[in-house]
Every structure is written in C-alpha cells, then in structure tokens.
Copies of this chain bind each other. A is one copy, B any other.
Amino acid sequence: MTLVVTKPTEHALAADSGWAAEVTFHVRYAETDQMGIVHHSAYVPWLEEARSALSRQYGRPYADFERAGYGLAVTELHLRFITPARYDQAVTVRVRVSKVRSRGVDFEYAVVDAATGECLATGCTVHVCIDQAGRPVRIPPDWQAFWASLKR
C-alpha cells in the first residue's frame, strides 16, 4: 500500500543535487503486495541500503563502525510515499547526512525512478550512537568528522 498524488516540493527535493551518495537496484518480486505495487515496508531496508552504500563508497563501511564496538540505532523513521514503485523497476535511492549531533546522526533520502528521476518517496531517519550494551554514547571523533563531511 503506497501512493499516487505527486507534490512539486517532493520532486524538487528529489532532483536537488546535494546528495552524498546513491544506490540503484531492481525492485524484487517479494517486495510487492496484493495491491500490485511495492509494499510500504520494503522502502525501509532500501533507505538502510543507501546508508550502507554511502559508508562503503566513502571507504568507511558501517561494518567497521560495528567492529569498533558501536552502533547507530534508529530512533525515528519518517517516510512519505509519492508514486508507487513496481516490480522490476530500476530504483535509485539517494542519501545525505542532514544533521550530526554529539551522540547521533540524521539522514535524508529520496527514492526515485532510475531512468526518469521521478520521485517515488522521500524519507528521513534519526539515529543515536550506542555501545555494545545499547547505551547512548558520544560518536567517536573520526566518525563524527566523517558524517559531518557528508552534510549538505
């Protein structure tokens, strides 16, 4: 269940050139539902994969962050669905850092059709840095600098 009405401001956001990274893939059949479109829950791993791609492309894979004993726990998730994505469609997810705090990082996303650039969805996530016991802690300085460098 997704949707339908396009909004000019969403399209402007999607076309904005200030993205730090993007990842493109084909929609999987398993991601559709009986409405015949992509189920809205499927977008959540897509945003996460864009974060992974961001880290990977800048040479600082998120797995290293975990190996160092940290995690970026999601504390808020917001998604706005503009136009339904469909099976086998090539989809691009764009990502950037929108805010860096001493104990957290926020990301923004646009999900667009890879061929036309049409905006399918926008989203943002709020994260808190935690240690292996799940306690909120300060982000290590090198990672904080890394994410700050991706801020637009």
Contacts and interface: CB of A to CB of B under 8 A. Distances in A.
A75 B36 contact: no
Contact of A75 (B44, B76, B81): B81
B130 A4 contact: yes
Is the interface on chain A under 10, 10 to 19, 20 to 34, or 35 or more residues?
35 or more
A45 B34 contact: no
Interface in A75-108: 75-81, 84, 87-88
A149 interface: no
A151 interface: no
A32 B40 CA distance: 12
B29 A127 contact: no
Contact of A88 (B3, B61, B79, B88): B61
Contacts of A78: 76-79
A143 to B, nearest CB: 15
Nearest to A81: B75
A80 B73 contact: no
19 contacts: A1-B73, A4-B75, A4-B135, A5-B136, A26-B52, A29-B45, A29-B62, A30-B33, A30-B44, A30-B48, A33-B33, A34-B87, A35-B73, A40-B74, A75-B81, A76-B81, A77-B79, A78-B79, A84-B134
Interface of A: 1-5, 25-26, 28-37, 39-41, 44-45, 48-49, 52-53, 56, 61-63, 66, 71-81, 84, 87-88, 127-128, 130, 134-136
